[in-house]
Chains A and B, each alone.
Chain A
Amino acid sequence: MSARPLLATDRASLMLQLVPYLISRGEVSVADAAEDFEVTPEQMRAMVEKLTVIGLPGDGGFWQMANDLFDIDWDLLDEQDHISLTNAVGLERTPRLTAREAAALLAGLQLAASLPGVGDSGVVQGLLAKLARGASSAPADVIVAPSAVDEVRTTVSDAIRAGVAVSFTYQAPDAAPTTRTVDPVKVHIADGQWYLQGWCHLREAIRTFHLDRVSSVALTDIPIAHAGEPVPGLFASAESDAVVEVRCRADVLPLLGDYLDRASVSGSGEYRSAALRVADERSIKRVAARLGGDVEITAPAAARASAASWAEAGLAQYR
């Protein structure tokens, strides 16, 4: 986990969580605690040391007595880098979730509820009620609309759980359909679209399949053989990617969405240039038409020409 810069209020919030955590863990290494709290081991050690000067108010302005302060086993910390709380003067109970924390988990649960095998277990409904009750104030309504789960999504999920390969017809854009047998590894859901990552027996490599392009899906009885293969990120660049240069107004850039995550952008002022990495140069004409004249393909010339003729062919239908 990467450590982020912490504000005083962040550190206070972590310390309020630290006491019940240490009580429930008994004894824990600085490294494990740091990982659980997503801070560096140095930050964790500093927090624990600070905890020992915190305690109940002194009487009438006098310094607090030792047993009015939190304390730890110092020998254990110095010698073994382990934390163990020896005196607690409050904060034993876990604080409620903030409205923001509850909202973030509630929205995540709504998406989880749409997953075959997760949402149909009845667990999610109970959790929604518990989280709402465990929040310190009413969370903002953050709703994630459920998407329909069809036979393809269910079958692919079944295959992952059963540990068998799945076979289907795959229709890539601007290509002939192919029949694939795939060892499923992971189902990704991004921007409401479902993708399957898995080992493709035809290509003998990890491939990503958009589930909208999958049809005639069936479970096989072939056990998964390539589950341990390293899986690249969903939209990771491949060496075979083509590079397309585009030009657009700065405020249009965000509309490029996922393409932007892998693009290098240059220029300043009203217009920007971006070098987009695309898996298939033929697909960029669709992006240009989608953004209806707000994005101009400047290179390569073939991609630019294909955008013009794509739009022209579309227009020809209306004459």
Chain B
Amino acid sequence: MNGDSHRSAPEERLVNLVVALLATEQGLTKDTILTSVAGYREQGAGGASKDALEKMFERDKENLRALGVPIETIGDFADPDDLREARYRVPTAEYSLPVDIDFSPAEIAVLNLASGVWGESSMSADARSGLRKIRALGIDVDAPIIGYAPRISLREPSFTPLQRAIEQARVVEFDYIKGGSDAAHRRRLQPFALLEYEGRWHVYGFDVSLGAERTFLLTRISSDVTVTRTSFDAALREGAGEKALAGLTAVAERQRALLEVEPGTEAALRLHRRGIPAEQGIHVPYVDAHIFADELASYGPEVRVVAPTDLRDLVIDRLERTRALHEKAVA
């Protein structure tokens, strides 16, 4: 190494730190780390202040934890302000994939398919990186599963901050439009789970302002999602996904529209699959009146809403606005 190289790349320092912390059983003190681990050592020798080095170490620990590296602090916590005697290490068993987990060639083939569902969205890199780790176990792969191209769409920018807030069990804030042309209202939520239902993303959690559990559509979040510093009990998240799914399914069971549908039309084709025949027309379950009204309006004269009245009014409103907007020549 020459004289300039005490400014080595930060990833070198990060990986050196992991190697050092994995190699120690009893843990290394901060002083030992800063004077012996390559990356800190050279910067210290190059004149960087102790304070700067310590800040760098704190940042590095945070970054590595975000990468899933479990850095353990062992020490005397009688005085939490004095961590000089604290020792740091990475327990091998928690760092690496459990030894007893192995994957069959058929499982790898299914994981290959599963990792491809995210297209170009933000989850895609995570899925492929996870698959790469599993494949590094050196497992053979069955012939790929052909004939399927499953995709999950993820267009909502609110997804990523919501996911982070769920992981960290932190309260979020956002503006939410309840439906149609209503004004947006500020919501404060303890987010528990994300759920894709009928092709739409929802977040389920405890609405702090309402004091009740609620499900929100991501497409109706009209502001950035702010992840606050307020945390909540992480145990609240347990089983939340299943609860959210059961909740939406129950809503669909409860809410049924009575519709008259013109036979042989697009509406008949799409609605009969989901409907239950009634004496006059069909009953179709739905979750969200505004979203179902959007769909029903698209069918124009092919479907007439008999009941409920609120759904019927929403459809009429959409059709009236569509007519009003298009009946005159372009201005």
Contacts and interface: CB of A to CB of B under 8 A. Distances in A.
A126 B33 CA distance: 41
Contact of A57 (B37, B95, B116): B37
Contact of B94 (A59, A96, A174, A307): A96
Q: Which of A15, A94, A134 has the most CB of B within 10 A?
A: A94
Contacts of B167: 99-100, 137-140
Given A104-B126, A141-B237, A190 B36 contact: no
Contacts of B146: 160
Interface string A132-173: 011111111111110100100000010011000000000101
A96 B68 CA distance: 7
Given A9-B14, A290-B298, A292-B294, A24 B138 contact: yes
A60 to B, nearest CB: 7
B130 A118 contact: no
A193 B152 CA distance: 10
Majority-rule SS of B interface residues: helix
Contact of A90 (B23, B38, B103): B23
A293 B273 contact: no
Interface string A255-278: 101000000000000000000000
B101 A37 contact: no
Contacts of A185: 147
B222 interface: yes
Nearest to A173: B266
A251 B220 CA distance: 10
Given A123-B106, A289-B322, A317 B301 contact: yes
A24 B45 CA distance: 38
Interface string B224-266: 0000000000100100111011001000000000000000001
A77 interface: no
Q: How large is the interface on B (under 10, 10 to 19, 20 to 34, 35 or more residues)?
A: 35 or more
Interface residues of A, number: 125
A192 interface: yes
B240 A141 contact: yes
Contact of B117 (A93, A107, A312): A107
A297 B329 CA distance: 10
Contacts of A137: 68, 167
B147 A127 contact: no
A308 B198 contact: no
Given A50-B12, A53-B38, A112 B114 contact: yes
Contacts of B136: 17, 20-21, 24, 94
Nearest to A115: B148
A160 B149 CA distance: 13
A255 B266 CA distance: 21
A293 B114 contact: no
B20 interface: yes
B49 interface: no
B304 interface: yes
B223 to A, nearest CB: 11
Contacts of A287: 298
B3 interface: no
B300 A93 contact: no
A286 B300 contact: yes
A134 to B, nearest CB: 5
B248 A108 contact: no
B190 to A, nearest CB: 13
Contacts of B326: 288, 296-297, 304-305, 307-308, 311
Contact of A107 (B111, B123, B134, B153): B123
| Pairs A-B, 3 closest by C-beta atoms | A293-B321, A292-B318, A101-B130
23 contacts: A16-B67, A21-B136, A50-B9, A53-B8, A53-B38, A57-B28, A57-B38, A59-B36, A118-B110, A127-B103, A141-B194, A186-B147, A186-B149, A188-B150, A286-B300, A292-B294, A293-B321, A293-B324, A294-B321, A297-B326, A304-B330, A305-B326, A311-B319
